[in-house]
Structure 1
Amino acid sequence: IHAYLKGDCIECMACSDNVVRAGLTPKYQDVETLLSMLEYEMSDANSRIFQSTTLDQNCQLFDPPVPDFAVEAIKVGVNSCYSLRKTDSCSVLLVVTGSASVTSSVPDSPAPPSSVVRGSVLFLPANYTITLQASEDLVAFRA
């Protein structure tokens, strides 16, 4: 169930067709099926917050038990540089605030510098890294 109340929200999800809607949409709503699927349990809101792991001073990793849904929260201060770590699979970088110049280091095929701003999305191949040089405080998420 989605219940977005406040703050920033980045959602990483798989392609699927198993959506059951119950409201706030003009699409088909199946309240009875949704009610039959759920188990309601009261709990403290803080017990439901997904904890992160600090990878370094710029990066927090949110790593659920399903590896496909790991998300990194990346923060780079103005006039600072940060190089993203290489990963074994491709990833997507979404810039939510700020701006930065981007350089990559690929042997035998260096890409010219480019820039990213709020709303930019970059596809990063496996075993590929980029360096962000922030011209404004930058917040980005990588999945």
Structure 2
Amino acid sequence: MHHIEVDVLDDYISTFILSLQKSNCTEYEPTSIRGILGSLDRKLKRHRFPYSIMAGSGPQFSLTRQTYNAKKKSLKKQGKGNRPCEAAPLTDGELEVMWQKGVLGSHSPTALVNTLWLNNCLHFGLRGTKEQYNLR
């Protein structure tokens, strides 16, 4: 792949993007296609290819970038890639089940850490692992 001329490789990859489907003939999510392009980019970079597929802004791989953007737009219209960004809150029933199954509680070190983490999230609004870690 890294021995092919840039213009020819650009044509090949853009055609590949247009024809890309899962084995059950459904479309990939836009993020999956972007991941595939990232893998191709890393492969080229490993062989010291002078141009990048997605990071470049010059004329090299412009057809690939345009094709990807058009395909992404088309997939978004079909409802692909439109995942909600919000987390679903835990219900009282789900919390009760976690207490009953021993996921939460004070009977083991793991359950105690889980309970502490959950309480920090619920009462202090701490979200990620880094915020929890910074409490130490």
Bin the TM-score by the shorter chain: under 0.3
More helix, by proportion:
2
TM-score in terms of structure 1 length: 0.26
More strand, by proportion:
1
